[in-house]
Amino acid sequence: MRERLEALKGEAVLVIGRAQSLDELRETKIKYLGKKGELTRVLRGMGSLPPEERPVIGSLANDIRGCLDQMIAEKEKQLEEASLLEQLHKEVIDVTLPGIKPESGTLHPLQLIIEQVEDIFVGMGFEIAEGPEVETDQYNFEALNLPKGHPARDMQDSFYINPEILLRTHTSSVQIRTLIEKEGSVPVRIICPGKVYRRDDDDATHSHQFTQIEGLVVDRGVSMSELNGVLLTLIEKMFGEGTEMRLRPSYFPFTEPSLEVDIFHPEQGWVEILGAGMVHPRVLENTGYNPERYTGFAFGIGVERIAMLKYGIDDIRHFYNNDLRFLRQFKTV
Amino acid sequence: MLVSYEWLSQYVDLEGITPEDIAEELNRTGIEVEVIYTRDPGVSGVAVGEVLFVEPHPKADRLKVCSVNVGKGQLLQIVCGAKNVAKGQRVPVALVGAKLPGGVHIKKAKLRDVYSHGMICSAKELGFPDKVLMKEQTEGILVLEPDAPIGMDIKEYLGMNDQVIELQLTPNRSDCLGMWGVAHEVAAIFDRELRLPVIHDQVPMDGGLSEEVRIVVESDEDCPFYTAQVVKNLKVGASPQWMQNRLISAGIRPINNIVDITNYVMLETGQPLHAFDYSKIKGGQIVVRRATENEKVVTLDNVERVCDPDMLLITDRENPLGVAGVMGGASSEVTPETTEILLESAFFDPMVVRQTSRKLGLRSEANIRFEKGVDPEQIIPALYRAVQLLCQLCGGIVASNAEVEKVGDVEDVIIDLRHERLVNLLGIQISQEEVMDIFRRLGFPATLEDDIYEVRVPSRRPDIMLEVDLIEEVARLYGYDRIPATLLWGQQTPGGLTKSQKMRRTVRHLLRELGLNEVFTYSLTSEQAEQEIASLHEGIRPIRLAMPMSNEHAVLRTTLLTQLIKAAAYNVNHGNGHVKIFEVGKVYLSDEELLTCLPEERFELAALITGKKTPTIWKSTWSDGHDFFVMKGILDSVFERFGLRDVEYQAAQLEGFHPGRTAVCIMNGEVIGVLGQLHPKLAKRYDLDEPVVFQLDLESLLDRDIDIMYHPIPRYPAVTRDLAMTVDINMPAGLLEAGIREVAGELLESVDLFDVFTGAQIGEGKKSVAYSLVYRAPDRTLTDEEVQEAHHKIVKHLAEFYGAELRQ
């Protein structure tokens, strides 16, 4: 019986080793180790053995079973590995084929600039104010120290609807509205993005409609050095650390002292990007703030100007033609 | 203002200072320099020559052979084709080897067998633009003054070595509309000595005062200061070359010695002057008065101007002699025959001059200066200066006193400046010595006591009226680049976006993620476009500009769609076939015919898609009208983002929209949006392929608070049942769904349409619709019986009220 068992083991080992597939292996397992398998069949003859041999043969049979089980398990693992490898091999794809993208759109480049500037100033504790685009002459000019007939009105030729109502020529009118609304309280820290309108023929550098961002700070003891600091923060965040900036004296009726800000552009040299200044005492008076007690600064950023510089755009009309070949270039920002 | 470097150097010591230095420092201290250019357009080897003989050319009728003396004993034979060449003239001669603008090189040439050793030049050949030339100089060779030094380099003679600095003046700096003002500024910036010409208090009188001028100013407000003086014995001719050169550098055309002197003195002092032919003034009196209605004046440019009582005239009572501060009249113009003039120097009300020049559409060097308000202290000196030059250069004799008609005296402006205020406002540390030194350089007399400066502001600087104006003066000479950059000081503020601002951002970002491109369009549109398509708002009238620049931009939009359609059309025209765009912007609403108050401005969102179709989203034979549902899906995404679950769509018919493919969005009984395909007629007009649009009133979405309340995740399984039925082809799916929900009860969790089709197997006039219904209870596993009961109730209800037949 021992011989038969050993022979059976030898045979089974060979068959297991030759198995080519998991199915074959499973059949082999049933054939030798199953309930009606070869091993069982051999063991059925146990009854004819002398009682003292029975435990020895039983133990041998168990060893054989255990050994074959283990071999089968190992072979199974091998075959599974092989099958997986084959599957992986079959599933190879060209990973350099293009991806299938969900269609994605774009924000307008002017909106991108507005949001960047808003975020910079919100980070500095500014609120975002808004005001009407159809404005009174009073708020657009008079209260900003630009009485009727003031020569500086020539700087901003306007679209009037009637003698008292016009399309605002700058977002500075929101300075007036904000200060009146705040009723003399401080600190005032706002920026105001918005559309403005001037009687200009549309060409590469002019647009009858364009976009400004106004800024205003009023508080006790506000100085020009703080204006300088705020502008420097803005410029560095918009154009990168180390961007050179210079302040030049200029003239606006609603600020005194007034200034213009240039940045150094690697190709274009010094380029003007915004106007600013200390709020004119008459503007404070006109809105109920005592200029002896409070001072402030204001600035006006040309959004198109910034976008043109930042993105290298050469014609302001691109912003309003809305050619998709233009707009789609702003996907990455 | 064009500033000649040569001229300026007469008044300020510019030793070691280049025009570029001046430009840089002016820019740094507040006067913008547009450009610096040289008067030399690229001329070399051209000298003054004298035409000794002119002979006819033996072989060409139109050519002449000239002998020209170009100095140093050199006599050249030059062939010349100009008609005006004549013996004895001094002319510019381009010698062999000379270079002229436009790459012209002069070589020895043979013209019809006659050698020419150079060329006699015209003004144009020397690069002079027509606008600075007298009419007779625009044709033929340039004839120089008889005293032009033979052999002299023409660039030296004609001042072409000069450099011109072009100033871009802000309206407050009218003081720099004169060379003397510029000299003050430059002297202050560089701390250099000023050397202005001495003006004699009164000019010497040689011929006795034969004339008496009477000046009548009818309104002091229009003209608070008027002076005039008569000069006789004048001989009209060309002014000296140096004066012509300076005028040309300043961009002014030389005309004759008298007119040139008035212009020259205006450029020096900033005070415009006018010379009237005295013999044309009746009764020797000047009356300054308002024009009568429709009073006609022929101005110097020979145009008849129709005036009105808002305009101020200079008259001899009856006849207008000129429009005050704007332009002289033709009748009293200085002509070659003029021998006596009345010279005017005055102050005219800036507003009156400004309005008059606008109404007449006339801009002159004079009115540019009067509009800004001239310096009253300069009125008499300018008159004296011009009279002095008239006597020196035109043989003039003073024939009257300088008559002065004037209201009051100009008081000196004295301003106190607190040192503390200066330091605090600028945020700088500056010593009192430095401040005093800045006032010295500016030429502002100042004293300092108890930390307060008392500053006397010269009348040439009317822009300085307040303490803060002085602070700016100090700051700009101190140097803005020396102002430190400090952080915002004071109480902290939270900052942030308002709800409405956040919402607009969200909606923009959402639409971007949904594949749309944001556009920015003009708020001004055409009246016709406004009428083409319905706005969301009823009973409004588009607001019209008083004076539009074009019909295309004449009214304020009441819908964003007109401009979106234009943007789409632009793209389609430029080969961008597939367009998906949106805009967030304002519409301007008023029901008034004439605005008495500001209109309502509301933020709207609009979108448009047209062109190549995207792949279908649900399988259907109903692929027609596909973009409508794409757009509806986008709109639903917007509603979903803002938590609006109760927006209903109702079929509607609106101007500009497809009558069968348009819906209004209704929330709380109010129309808040429109979704639809554009009417084929409108689409065709703009060459758009089945464009689908929506417009949505963003403000009405704002009232909603977006509160998220957590619902427990279901613990028990759901049961899904499909429901396919045939209904009348016109039965709105929205109604069916509402019907399902109406009777389903609490067990129904969701209803999703998954199929719609028509076809022969369904039968004429019918369509098949199929829904997937999901049932679930929160607290137990549903039994088959429970689901069956609920489902059956729905089927029965649909059959009864909607004529639906269950399909197998």
Size of interface A-B (CB pairs under 8 A): 246
CATH number at residue B448: 3.30.56.10
Containing domain of residue B18, as a range? 2-39+163-190
Instruction: Specify whether B135 is located in the same domain as B258.
Output: no
Question: Mean of the pLDDT values across residues B767-796?
Answer: 91
Given A90, A119, A153, the domain boundary residue is: A90
Query: What is residue A45's DSSP assignment?
Result: G
Classify residue A103: in a domain, yes or no: no
The tally of domains found in chain B comes to: 6
- Other Cβ atoms less than 10 A from the Cβ of A222: the count is 26
CB neighbour class for B234 (10 Å; exposed up to 12, middle 13-18, buried from 19) = buried
Classify residue A142: in a domain, yes or no: yes
What residues have CB less than 8 Å from B764, skipping those under 6 apart?
none
Instruction: Specify whether A324 is located in the same domain as A179.
Output: yes
Query: At residue B552, does pLDDT exceed 90?
Result: yes
What residues have CB less than 8 Å from B624, skipping those under 6 apart?
none
CA distance B246 to B238: 14
Q: Is B167 on the interface with A (CB under 8 A)?
A: no
Q: Do residue A257 and residue B485 have CB atoms under 8 angstroms apart?
A: no
**Could you tell me the two tokens for B286?**
């000047």
Q: Give B751's strand partners.
A: B773
Instruction: Specify whether B68 is located in the same domain as B30.
Output: no
Instruction: Specify whether B558 is located in the same domain as B683.
Output: yes
Nearest CA in chain B to A104: B515
Nearest CA in chain B to A231: B485
- The H-or-E segment that residue B351 falls in is helix B350-360
If contacts are CB pairs under 8 Å, which of residues 438-477 in chain B contact chain A? 466, 468-469, 471-472, 475-476
Tens of pLDDT along B414-428? 999 999 999 999 999
Instruction: Specify whether A84 is located in the same domain as A113.
Output: no
Instruction: Specify whether A52 is located in the same domain as A148.
Output: no
Q: Is B710 on the interface with A (CB under 8 A)?
A: no
Q: Do residue B567 and residue A154 have CB atoms under 8 angstroms apart?
A: no
CA distance B386 to B550: 47
Classify residue B530: in a domain, yes or no: yes
Classify residue A98: in a domain, yes or no: no
With beta carbons less than 8 A apart as the criterion, state whether B422 and B430 touch.
Answer: yes
CATH number at residue B237: 3.50.40.10
The residue behind tokens 């013209």 is B111
| pLDDT of amino acid A154 | 66
CA distance A41 to B621: 67
| pLDDT of amino acid B617 | 47
With beta carbons less than 8 A apart as the criterion, state whether A259 and A250 touch.
Answer: yes
Beta strands in A120-254 (DSSP E): 127-128, 134-136, 160-162, 165-167, 188-197, 209-219, 245-252
Three-state SS sequence of B112-173: CCEEECCEECCCCCCCCCHHHCCHHHCCCCCCECCCCCCCCEHHHHCCCCCEEEEEECCCCC
| Percent of chain B's residues with pLDDT above 70 | 97
Nearest CA in chain A to B580: A105
CB neighbour class for B728 (10 Å; exposed up to 12, middle 13-18, buried from 19) = exposed
Q: How much is the pTM?
A: 0.85
Classify residue A100: in a domain, yes or no: no
Most confident of A102-111, B16-25, B204-213: B16-25
Beta strands in B258-307 (DSSP E): 273-277, 285-290, 296-298, 304-306
Instruction: Specify whether B19 is located in the same domain as B6.
Output: yes
Query: At residue A217, does pLDDT exceed 60?
Result: yes
CA distance B44 to B57: 28
Higher-confidence residue: B369 or B710? B369
Question: Mean of the pLDDT values across residues B780-785?
Answer: 91
Question: Mean of the pLDDT values across residues A11-27?
Answer: 88
Classify residue A99: in a domain, yes or no: no
Question: Mean of the pLDDT values across residues B48-73?
Answer: 91
Q: Do residue B490 and residue A221 have CB atoms under 8 angstroms apart?
A: yes
Using only C-alpha atoms, what is the Rg of chain B? Answer: 41
| Residue B111 pLDDT class (50, 70, 90 cuts) | confident
Instruction: Specify whether B287 is located in the same domain as B324.
Output: yes
Instruction: Specify whether A37 is located in the same domain as A150.
Output: no
Nearest CA in chain A to B546: A161
Tens of pLDDT along B196-234? 988 876 655 555 677 888 899 998 899 999 999 999 999
HSE (side-chain half, CA atoms, 13 Å) at B117 = 10
CA distance B162 to B247: 12
Instruction: Specify whether B48 is located in the same domain as B118.
Output: yes
Classify residue A179: in a domain, yes or no: yes
Instruction: Specify whether A17 is located in the same domain as A59.
Output: yes
> In angstroms, what CA-CA distances link B408 with B30, B218, B367, B798?
33, 16, 24, 97
B556 CB neighbours in chain A (<8 A) are 134, 167
Classify residue A233: in a domain, yes or no: yes
| pLDDT of amino acid A106 | 96
CB neighbour class for B484 (10 Å; exposed up to 12, middle 13-18, buried from 19) = middle
CATH number at residue B610: 3.30.930.10
User: In Å, how far is A93's CA from the nearest CA of chain B?
Assistant: 25
- The H-or-E segment that residue A208 falls in is none
What residues have CB less than 8 Å from B396, skipping those under 6 apart?
B231, B232, B233, B234, B387, B390
- The H-or-E segment that residue B247 falls in is helix B241-249
Give the length of chain B.
Answer: 808
| Residue B438 pLDDT class (50, 70, 90 cuts) | very high
Measured in degrees and rounded to the nearest 5, phi and psi for residue B490 equal 105, -170
Higher-confidence residue: A154 or A159? A159
| pLDDT of amino acid B463 | 92
Instruction: Specify whether B144 is located in the same domain as B63.
Output: yes
Instruction: Specify whether A32 is located in the same domain as A154.
Output: no
Across the beta sheet with B719-728, what order do the strands follow?
B748-757, B766-775, B719-728, B805-806
**Could you tell me the two tokens for B154?**
């023409």
Q: Is B574 on the interface with A (CB under 8 A)?
A: yes
CATH number at residue B144: 2.40.50.140
**Could you tell me the two tokens for A168?**
């605002």
Query: At residue B621, does pLDDT exceed 60?
Result: no
| pLDDT of amino acid B622 | 44
Q: Do residue A108 and residue B549 have CB atoms under 8 angstroms apart?
A: no
The tally of domains found in chain A comes to: 2
CA distance A232 to A245: 7
| pLDDT of amino acid A316 | 97
Pairing of strands B446-449, B524-525: unpaired
| pLDDT of amino acid A251 | 94
| Percent of chain B's residues with pLDDT above 90 | 74
Question: Mean of the pLDDT values across residues B636-662?
Answer: 91
CA distance B250 to B244: 10
Instruction: Specify whether B277 is located in the same domain as B393.
Output: yes
Instruction: Specify whether B113 is located in the same domain as B247.
Output: no
Query: At residue A102, does pLDDT exceed 80?
Result: no
What's the mean pLDDT when you consider all of chain B?
A: 91
Q: Give B329's strand partners.
A: B299
The residue behind tokens 């973009």 is B627
| pLDDT of amino acid A46 | 79
Question: Mean of the pLDDT values across residues B328-355?
Answer: 94
Q: What angle do CA B467, B469, B474 make, to 5 degrees?
A: 95
Nearest CA in chain A to B522: A209
Classify residue B706: in a domain, yes or no: no
If contacts are CB pairs under 8 Å, which of residues 669-708 in chain B contact chain A? none
Containing domain of residue A49, as a range? 2-90
Instruction: Specify whether B320 is located in the same domain as B397.
Output: yes
Given A90, A121, A136, the domain boundary residue is: A90
Looking at this protein, which amino acid is placed at residue B312?
L
Instruction: Specify whether B97 is located in the same domain as B246.
Output: no
| Sign for the pseudo-dihedral over CA of A137, A143, A144, A145 | positive
With beta carbons less than 8 A apart as the criterion, state whether A213 and A117 touch.
Answer: yes
Q: Do residue A223 and residue B501 have CB atoms under 8 angstroms apart?
A: no
Classify residue B779: in a domain, yes or no: yes
**A122 backbone φψ class: left, alpha, beta (φ>0; ψ -120 to 50):** alpha
What residues have CB less than 8 Å from B129, skipping those under 6 apart?
none
Nearest to A295 by CA among A146, A149, A188: A188
Q: Give A106's strand partners.
A: B517
Instruction: Specify whether A168 is located in the same domain as A314.
Output: yes
Q: What is the ipTM of this complex?
A: 0.86
| pLDDT of amino acid B619 | 38
User: In Å, how far is B479's CA from the nearest CA of chain A?
Assistant: 9
Q: Do residue B472 and residue A221 have CB atoms under 8 angstroms apart?
A: no
| Sign for the pseudo-dihedral over CA of B756, B762, B764, B765 | negative
Query: At residue B616, does pLDDT exceed 50?
Result: no
Q: Give B2's strand partners.
A: B166
Tens of pLDDT along B455-496? 999 999 999 999 999 999 999 999 999 999 999 888 888 888
**Could you tell me the two tokens for A191?**
């920026």
| pLDDT of amino acid B207 | 57
Question: Mean of the pLDDT values across residues A244-266?
Answer: 94
Query: What is residue A312's DSSP assignment?
Result: T
